[in-house]
Every structure is written in C-alpha cells, then in structure tokens.
Amino acid sequence: MVKFLKMLSISVREGTATRKYPFESPLVTPEFRGKIEVDPVKCVGCGACTRICPPKALTIGHEGDEIVLKYFEGRCIFCGMCAYVCPQKAIAISKEFELATWELGDLYDEVVHTTIKCRICGKPFTTVKFVKEIEKR
C-alpha cells in the first residue's frame, strides 16, 4: 500500500508520462530503429545480412537464373545487425515504424540479381555485381 501511495504522489507531481498515440505524434529519438531499406544499386547479393539476421527476416535464394534477396518486415525485430554487417553499406535503418497494412504482400521487399553460371556445370552460383566488386579489390 505504501508503494502505491508513493507512486501516486510521484505521478501527480510529474504529470502524464505517456503520449496519446495515434492522436499525438510519437517521440522518435535519433537512436530509434525502424524498418530497414535495402538499396538495390549498392547491394551485391553477398548474403552477409541473411546470415546475421536473428529472426531470418532477410533471406537469399536462387529463383531460376536469378538470386533474390527477400526482406519480410513482419518478421523483422529492427535490431539493425544487417546494416551493421553489410560490407557495401546497402542497408539503411529508417525511422519508419507504422507498417500496418491490409495486404500481406505489402510487407515484402526484394532485390533481384543476375547470376554468373559455372563454366563446368552451368549452374548459377553468384551474382554479377559480387564478382565485379571482388575484381575491384
């Protein structure tokens, strides 16, 4: 009972601590992490982001003769690890957090890469951009 009275006196003295969201704009600090944005021009399809993503919101796979990086916002926990490990700095963390939608498809984003095929077996194994990036070094 004493703790309750102490908390009550503090709340009366300090005032309201919450915001009336969505009627008031939320407090978005500089450290806030919202959804990620993948720059398709910078992305080389190396897959580093997919290996570090804890909930597997980012996946990479072969689809025919293309390699596709897929991002599912519904699974993302906004940790920012993907942006941290991306060697090309192709992933940016935005401040966008209002992601509600009526269509599940709106929560998906993808980057499609053309592939290079193996000279021996003819199967695609990496992206053209990734090979060009390695050649630069």
CA 61, CA 40: separation in Å to the nearest integer?
Answer: 16
Q: pLDDT at position 112, please? A: 96
Give the pLDDT mean for 66-87: 95
Reference 36, options 114, 130, 110, 126; nearest CA is 110
CATH code, 30-136: 3.30.70.3270
Model confidence at 2, in pLDDT bands (50, 70, 90)? confident
Delimit the domains of the chain by residue range.
Answer: 30-136
Whether the pLDDT of residue 45 is over 90: the answer is yes
Of the pLDDT bands very low, low, confident and very high (cuts 50, 70, 90), residue 21 is: confident
